[in-house]
Amino acid sequence: MSDTARTTRVPTTTELLEDQPKNWGKWGSDDEVGALNYLGSREALAGVGEVRQGKTFTLQVQIGNPKGDPTFPGPRGPARRVNIMDRGVYLGGAGPEVEGDAQFADDMIIMYLQGSSQYDALGHLWCGDQIYNGYPAETTTGGMKKASILPIAEKGVVGRGVLIDMACYRGKRWLDKGETFDHTDLVAAAAQQGVEIRKRDILLVHTGWLEYFYNTPRETFYDNFNEPGLTYSPELVAWFNDMEIPNLVTDTIANEVTHDPVSGVWLPLHNALMRNLGVTFAEIIALHELAEDCKDDGQYSFLYTAAPLKVVEGTGAPVNPIVIK
Protein backbone atom coordinates (compact mmCIF):
# COMPACT_ATOMS: atom_id res chain seq x y z
CA MET A 1 0.00 0.00 0.00
CA SER A 2 1.35 3.43 -0.88
CA ASP A 3 2.17 6.14 1.68
CA THR A 4 -0.70 8.19 0.29
CA ALA A 5 -3.12 5.31 0.78
CA ARG A 6 -1.95 4.83 4.37
CA THR A 7 -2.94 8.40 5.26
CA THR A 8 -6.50 7.85 4.00
CA ARG A 9 -8.98 6.70 6.62
CA VAL A 10 -10.04 3.10 6.16
CA PRO A 11 -13.84 2.97 6.26
CA THR A 12 -15.67 0.48 8.40
CA THR A 13 -17.01 -2.54 6.55
CA THR A 14 -20.52 -1.31 7.33
CA GLU A 15 -19.74 2.02 5.66
CA LEU A 16 -18.16 0.32 2.64
CA LEU A 17 -21.19 -1.92 2.06
CA GLU A 18 -23.87 0.57 3.08
CA ASP A 19 -25.77 0.48 -0.23
CA GLN A 20 -25.01 -3.11 -1.22
CA PRO A 21 -27.75 -5.72 -1.70
CA LYS A 22 -28.80 -8.26 0.93
CA ASN A 23 -30.70 -11.50 0.44
CA TRP A 24 -31.92 -11.48 4.02
CA GLY A 25 -35.46 -12.83 4.17
CA LYS A 26 -35.41 -13.99 0.55
CA TRP A 27 -35.75 -17.63 1.63
CA GLY A 28 -37.63 -16.90 4.85
CA SER A 29 -36.81 -15.36 8.20
CA ASP A 30 -35.48 -18.69 9.52
CA ASP A 31 -33.13 -19.49 6.60
CA GLU A 32 -29.58 -20.61 7.43
CA VAL A 33 -28.19 -21.89 4.09
CA GLY A 34 -28.50 -18.77 1.93
CA ALA A 35 -27.62 -19.06 -1.74
CA LEU A 36 -27.41 -22.85 -1.46
CA ASN A 37 -31.20 -22.58 -1.82
CA TYR A 38 -30.43 -22.05 -5.50
CA LEU A 39 -29.24 -25.65 -5.70
CA GLY A 40 -32.13 -28.03 -6.26
CA SER A 41 -32.79 -31.15 -8.32
CA ARG A 42 -32.44 -29.25 -11.62
CA GLU A 43 -29.01 -27.95 -10.65
CA ALA A 44 -27.92 -31.39 -9.41
CA LEU A 45 -28.96 -32.93 -12.73
CA ALA A 46 -27.10 -30.18 -14.59
CA GLY A 47 -23.99 -31.29 -12.74
CA VAL A 48 -24.64 -34.94 -13.51
CA GLY A 49 -25.01 -33.96 -17.16
CA GLU A 50 -21.39 -32.82 -17.20
CA VAL A 51 -20.09 -36.30 -16.31
CA ARG A 52 -18.53 -37.67 -19.50
CA GLN A 53 -15.43 -39.64 -18.57
CA GLY A 54 -15.92 -41.04 -15.09
CA LYS A 55 -12.81 -39.34 -13.71
CA THR A 56 -12.98 -38.55 -10.01
CA PHE A 57 -11.00 -36.06 -7.92
CA THR A 58 -10.94 -35.54 -4.16
CA LEU A 59 -10.15 -31.96 -3.21
CA GLN A 60 -9.19 -31.96 0.46
CA VAL A 61 -5.64 -31.10 1.45
CA GLN A 62 -3.86 -33.63 3.66
CA ILE A 63 -4.28 -33.08 7.39
CA GLY A 64 -0.93 -33.34 9.11
CA ASN A 65 1.18 -32.99 5.95
CA PRO A 66 4.89 -32.91 6.93
CA LYS A 67 5.15 -29.54 5.15
CA GLY A 68 2.46 -28.13 7.42
CA ASP A 69 -1.24 -27.30 7.36
CA PRO A 70 -2.20 -24.04 5.61
CA THR A 71 -4.14 -21.92 8.10
CA PHE A 72 -5.02 -18.25 8.41
CA PRO A 73 -2.37 -16.38 10.42
CA GLY A 74 -3.25 -15.78 14.04
CA PRO A 75 -4.33 -18.22 16.71
CA ARG A 76 -5.05 -21.09 14.32
CA GLY A 77 -2.30 -23.68 14.37
CA PRO A 78 -1.72 -26.99 12.62
CA ALA A 79 -3.67 -30.12 13.47
CA ARG A 80 -2.22 -32.41 16.13
CA ARG A 81 -2.77 -36.15 15.78
CA VAL A 82 -2.03 -38.30 18.82
CA ASN A 83 -1.91 -42.09 19.04
CA ILE A 84 -3.99 -43.39 21.95
CA MET A 85 -3.64 -47.11 21.23
CA ASP A 86 -1.01 -48.92 19.16
CA ARG A 87 1.31 -51.93 19.26
CA GLY A 88 3.56 -50.19 21.75
CA VAL A 89 0.75 -50.10 24.33
CA TYR A 90 0.40 -53.87 24.07
CA LEU A 91 4.14 -54.43 24.27
CA GLY A 92 4.13 -52.34 27.44
CA GLY A 93 1.48 -54.62 28.94
CA ALA A 94 -1.26 -51.95 29.02
CA GLY A 95 -3.42 -53.21 26.15
CA PRO A 96 -7.05 -54.01 26.98
CA GLU A 97 -7.89 -57.66 27.45
CA VAL A 98 -10.53 -58.98 25.06
CA GLU A 99 -11.86 -62.39 24.15
CA GLY A 100 -9.50 -63.81 21.52
CA ASP A 101 -6.23 -62.16 20.55
CA ALA A 102 -7.33 -59.16 18.54
CA GLN A 103 -5.43 -55.90 19.02
CA PHE A 104 -6.12 -52.44 17.61
CA ALA A 105 -4.74 -48.97 17.05
CA ASP A 106 -6.64 -45.80 17.89
CA ASP A 107 -5.86 -42.11 17.74
CA MET A 108 -7.37 -38.66 18.11
CA ILE A 109 -6.93 -35.33 16.37
CA ILE A 110 -7.05 -31.81 17.78
CA MET A 111 -7.59 -29.14 15.17
CA TYR A 112 -9.37 -25.93 14.32
CA LEU A 113 -12.55 -26.68 12.39
CA GLN A 114 -11.24 -24.25 9.77
CA GLY A 115 -7.69 -25.61 9.86
CA SER A 116 -8.00 -27.74 6.73
CA SER A 117 -10.09 -27.77 3.55
CA GLN A 118 -13.34 -26.43 4.92
CA TYR A 119 -16.67 -24.68 4.52
CA ASP A 120 -17.52 -21.49 6.38
CA ALA A 121 -20.79 -21.22 8.23
CA LEU A 122 -22.79 -18.25 6.97
CA GLY A 123 -22.60 -16.69 10.42
CA HIS A 124 -18.84 -17.14 10.71
CA LEU A 125 -17.97 -13.49 9.98
CA TRP A 126 -20.02 -10.31 10.21
CA CYS A 127 -19.92 -6.55 10.60
CA GLY A 128 -22.05 -4.39 12.85
CA ASP A 129 -24.24 -6.41 15.18
CA GLN A 130 -25.92 -8.82 12.74
CA ILE A 131 -24.81 -12.00 11.01
CA TYR A 132 -26.39 -13.55 7.89
CA ASN A 133 -30.15 -13.10 7.51
CA GLY A 134 -30.22 -10.45 10.21
CA TYR A 135 -29.71 -12.76 13.16
CA PRO A 136 -28.16 -10.95 16.14
CA ALA A 137 -24.40 -11.37 16.45
CA GLU A 138 -25.00 -12.43 20.05
CA THR A 139 -26.33 -15.76 18.69
CA THR A 140 -22.68 -16.71 18.10
CA THR A 141 -21.88 -16.61 21.83
CA GLY A 142 -20.70 -19.97 23.15
CA GLY A 143 -21.59 -21.67 19.87
CA MET A 144 -23.50 -20.62 16.78
CA LYS A 145 -27.20 -20.88 17.54
CA LYS A 146 -28.04 -19.51 14.07
CA ALA A 147 -26.38 -19.82 10.64
CA SER A 148 -23.92 -22.47 11.85
CA ILE A 149 -22.29 -25.03 9.60
CA LEU A 150 -24.85 -27.69 10.51
CA PRO A 151 -27.66 -26.62 8.14
CA ILE A 152 -25.16 -26.43 5.27
CA ALA A 153 -23.77 -29.85 6.16
CA GLU A 154 -27.23 -31.38 6.34
CA LYS A 155 -28.19 -29.95 2.95
CA GLY A 156 -24.94 -30.76 1.15
CA VAL A 157 -23.71 -29.11 -2.03
CA VAL A 158 -24.38 -30.70 -5.43
CA GLY A 159 -24.36 -28.94 -8.78
CA ARG A 160 -22.53 -27.98 -11.94
CA GLY A 161 -19.04 -26.89 -11.07
CA VAL A 162 -16.79 -24.77 -13.26
CA LEU A 163 -13.06 -24.42 -12.72
CA ILE A 164 -11.50 -21.06 -13.55
CA ASP A 165 -7.71 -21.45 -13.73
CA MET A 166 -6.67 -17.91 -12.93
CA ALA A 167 -3.02 -18.87 -12.49
CA CYS A 168 -2.89 -20.35 -15.99
CA TYR A 169 -4.83 -17.38 -17.39
CA ARG A 170 -2.17 -15.05 -15.96
CA GLY A 171 0.61 -17.33 -17.27
CA LYS A 172 1.89 -18.17 -13.79
CA ARG A 173 2.44 -21.21 -11.62
CA TRP A 174 0.82 -19.25 -8.80
CA LEU A 175 -0.45 -15.70 -8.36
CA ASP A 176 1.61 -13.16 -6.42
CA LYS A 177 0.86 -11.93 -2.92
CA GLY A 178 -1.94 -9.40 -3.06
CA GLU A 179 -2.63 -10.02 -6.77
CA THR A 180 -6.26 -9.31 -7.57
CA PHE A 181 -8.87 -10.24 -10.13
CA ASP A 182 -12.58 -9.60 -10.48
CA HIS A 183 -15.68 -11.03 -12.15
CA THR A 184 -14.65 -9.71 -15.57
CA ASP A 185 -11.42 -11.70 -15.25
CA LEU A 186 -13.41 -14.80 -14.33
CA VAL A 187 -15.56 -14.42 -17.44
CA ALA A 188 -12.54 -13.73 -19.67
CA ALA A 189 -10.64 -16.72 -18.32
CA ALA A 190 -13.69 -18.94 -18.82
CA ALA A 191 -13.95 -17.78 -22.44
CA GLN A 192 -10.27 -18.56 -23.00
CA GLN A 193 -10.82 -22.04 -21.53
CA GLY A 194 -13.86 -22.60 -23.74
CA VAL A 195 -16.35 -22.96 -20.90
CA GLU A 196 -19.40 -20.90 -19.99
CA ILE A 197 -20.20 -19.72 -16.47
CA ARG A 198 -23.93 -20.26 -16.14
CA LYS A 199 -26.45 -19.11 -13.57
CA ARG A 200 -26.24 -21.09 -10.34
CA ASP A 201 -22.88 -22.64 -11.18
CA ILE A 202 -20.50 -23.50 -8.35
CA LEU A 203 -17.31 -21.50 -8.99
CA LEU A 204 -13.92 -23.09 -8.36
CA VAL A 205 -10.98 -20.70 -8.75
CA HIS A 206 -7.41 -22.02 -9.00
CA THR A 207 -4.74 -19.47 -8.05
CA GLY A 208 -1.87 -21.86 -7.35
CA TRP A 209 -1.68 -20.53 -3.78
CA LEU A 210 -1.54 -23.96 -2.17
CA GLU A 211 1.31 -24.97 -4.48
CA TYR A 212 3.06 -21.82 -3.29
CA PHE A 213 2.45 -22.85 0.33
CA TYR A 214 3.90 -26.33 -0.11
CA ASN A 215 6.92 -25.07 -2.08
CA THR A 216 7.83 -22.07 0.09
CA PRO A 217 9.39 -21.76 3.56
CA ARG A 218 6.66 -21.07 6.11
CA GLU A 219 8.30 -17.79 7.13
CA THR A 220 8.26 -16.55 3.54
CA PHE A 221 4.66 -17.62 2.97
CA TYR A 222 3.38 -15.75 6.02
CA ASP A 223 5.66 -12.72 5.75
CA ASN A 224 3.52 -9.62 4.96
CA PHE A 225 0.58 -11.98 4.53
CA ASN A 226 -1.75 -10.82 1.78
CA GLU A 227 -3.35 -13.54 -0.29
CA PRO A 228 -4.24 -13.14 -3.95
CA GLY A 229 -7.90 -13.27 -4.84
CA LEU A 230 -11.10 -11.57 -5.82
CA THR A 231 -11.35 -7.92 -4.89
CA TYR A 232 -14.41 -6.00 -3.82
CA SER A 233 -16.47 -3.74 -6.06
CA PRO A 234 -20.21 -3.05 -6.23
CA GLU A 235 -20.14 -4.43 -9.78
CA LEU A 236 -18.65 -7.73 -8.61
CA VAL A 237 -21.26 -8.06 -5.88
CA ALA A 238 -24.03 -7.35 -8.40
CA TRP A 239 -22.58 -10.00 -10.75
CA PHE A 240 -22.59 -12.67 -8.03
CA ASN A 241 -26.14 -11.70 -7.10
CA ASP A 242 -27.44 -11.64 -10.68
CA MET A 243 -25.72 -14.95 -11.51
CA GLU A 244 -27.17 -16.50 -8.34
CA ILE A 245 -23.81 -18.07 -7.52
CA PRO A 246 -24.39 -20.45 -4.59
CA ASN A 247 -20.84 -21.38 -3.68
CA LEU A 248 -17.35 -19.90 -4.13
CA VAL A 249 -14.54 -22.45 -3.86
CA THR A 250 -10.86 -21.49 -3.96
CA ASP A 251 -7.41 -22.82 -3.14
CA THR A 252 -6.67 -19.84 -0.89
CA ILE A 253 -7.20 -19.65 2.85
CA ALA A 254 -9.80 -16.88 2.74
CA ASN A 255 -11.24 -16.78 -0.81
CA GLU A 256 -10.38 -13.13 -1.45
CA VAL A 257 -7.46 -10.73 -1.39
CA THR A 258 -6.74 -10.22 2.31
CA HIS A 259 -6.69 -6.41 2.22
CA ASP A 260 -8.83 -4.61 -0.33
CA PRO A 261 -6.32 -2.46 -2.25
CA VAL A 262 -8.76 0.40 -2.78
CA SER A 263 -10.50 0.80 0.59
CA GLY A 264 -7.96 -1.00 2.78
CA VAL A 265 -10.77 -3.00 4.41
CA TRP A 266 -9.92 -6.51 5.62
CA LEU A 267 -11.84 -9.34 3.87
CA PRO A 268 -14.79 -7.24 2.64
CA LEU A 269 -16.21 -10.00 0.43
CA HIS A 270 -16.84 -12.21 3.43
CA ASN A 271 -19.43 -9.62 4.39
CA ALA A 272 -20.55 -8.49 0.92
CA LEU A 273 -21.05 -12.00 -0.46
CA MET A 274 -21.33 -14.41 2.46
CA ARG A 275 -23.03 -12.33 5.16
CA ASN A 276 -25.18 -10.21 2.85
CA LEU A 277 -25.98 -12.49 -0.10
CA GLY A 278 -25.61 -15.89 1.56
CA VAL A 279 -22.91 -17.14 -0.84
CA THR A 280 -21.23 -20.12 0.80
CA PHE A 281 -17.42 -20.04 0.96
CA ALA A 282 -15.20 -23.11 0.70
CA GLU A 283 -11.52 -22.51 1.39
CA ILE A 284 -8.15 -24.29 1.26
CA ILE A 285 -9.46 -26.58 -1.48
CA ALA A 286 -6.81 -28.56 -3.39
CA LEU A 287 -7.35 -27.68 -7.05
CA HIS A 288 -3.93 -28.32 -8.61
CA GLU A 289 -4.54 -31.88 -9.83
CA LEU A 290 -7.99 -30.95 -11.16
CA ALA A 291 -6.61 -27.87 -12.91
CA GLU A 292 -3.87 -29.91 -14.59
CA ASP A 293 -6.40 -32.46 -15.80
CA CYS A 294 -8.75 -29.76 -17.11
CA LYS A 295 -5.83 -28.27 -19.01
CA ASP A 296 -5.03 -31.68 -20.51
CA ASP A 297 -8.51 -32.68 -21.65
CA GLY A 298 -10.12 -29.24 -22.07
CA GLN A 299 -13.11 -30.08 -19.85
CA TYR A 300 -13.58 -27.38 -17.22
CA SER A 301 -17.14 -28.24 -16.15
CA PHE A 302 -18.15 -31.22 -14.02
CA LEU A 303 -20.30 -32.55 -11.21
CA TYR A 304 -19.25 -30.97 -7.92
CA THR A 305 -20.31 -32.47 -4.61
CA ALA A 306 -19.41 -31.56 -1.04
CA ALA A 307 -20.68 -32.33 2.44
CA PRO A 308 -18.94 -30.67 5.40
CA LEU A 309 -18.92 -32.52 8.72
CA LYS A 310 -22.15 -32.09 10.70
CA VAL A 311 -20.79 -30.08 13.61
CA VAL A 312 -23.53 -28.74 15.88
CA GLU A 313 -23.12 -24.97 16.40
CA GLY A 314 -19.85 -25.01 14.41
CA THR A 315 -18.39 -21.94 12.71
CA GLY A 316 -17.17 -24.17 9.90
CA ALA A 317 -16.19 -27.76 9.23
CA PRO A 318 -13.62 -29.81 7.33
CA VAL A 319 -14.67 -31.19 3.96
CA ASN A 320 -13.38 -33.47 1.22
CA PRO A 321 -15.23 -32.38 -1.94
CA ILE A 322 -15.54 -34.83 -4.81
CA VAL A 323 -15.53 -33.82 -8.47
CA ILE A 324 -16.62 -36.19 -11.24
CA LYS A 325 -15.88 -35.38 -14.90
The model's pLDDT over 62-86, given as tens digits with 9 standing for 90+, comes to 998 988 899 998 788 888 999 999 9
Per the structure, how many domains does the chain have?
Answer: 2
Question: Could you tell me the CATH number of the domain that includes residue 308?
Answer: 3.50.30.50
C-alpha closest to that of 175 among 223, 132, 226, 133: 226
49, 158 Cβ separation under 8 angstroms: no
In a domain, 270, yes or no: yes
My answer on whether 47 and 92 are in the same domain is no
By percentage, how much of the chain surpasses pLDDT 70? 98
Average pLDDT for 200-206: 98
Secondary structure percentages of the chain, helix, strand, coil, to 5 = 30, 20, 50
Q: Does 238 lie in the same domain as 93?
A: no
Asked if the structure places residue 19 within a domain, the reply is no
Residue 148 domain boundaries: 25-75+112-324
For residue 199, pLDDT over 60 is answered with yes
Residue 248 resides in a domain: yes
Question: Is residue 7 assigned to a domain?
Answer: no
Does residue 87 sit in the same domain as residue 177? no
Residue that is last in its domain, among 109, 126, 160? 109
pLDDT of residue 3 exceeding 90: no
Residues 31 and 96 in one domain: no
User: Are residue 104 and residue 169 in the same domain, yes or no?
Assistant: no
Both 105 and 56 in one domain: the answer is no
Measure the CA–CA gap between 314 and 31, rounded to whole angstroms: 16
Contact 186, 197 (CB under 8 A): yes
Whether 291 maps to a domain, the answer reads: yes
Q: In this structure, are 88 and 125 located in the same domain?
A: no
Same domain, 66 and 202: yes
105 with 189, same domain? Answer: no
pLDDT at 94: 92
Asked if the structure places residue 32 within a domain, the reply is: yes
Angle subtended at Cα 291 by Cα 286 and Cα 297, rounded to the nearest 5 degrees? 145
Condensed to tens digits (0 to 9), the pLDDT of residues 241-277 reads 999 999 999 999 999 999 999 999 999 999 999 999 9
Residue 85 and residue 145 share a domain: no
The predicted pLDDT at position 73 comes to 87
- Tell me the pLDDT tens digit for each residue of 144-197: 999 999 999 999 999 999 999 999 999 999 999 999 999 999 999 999 999 999
Instruction: Kindly state whether residues 238 and 104 are assigned to the same domain.
Output: no
In a domain, 320, yes or no: yes
Average pLDDT over residues 220-245: 97
86 and 174 assigned to the same domain: no
Report whether pLDDT(5) > 60: no
Query: Does a structural domain hold residue 2?
Result: no
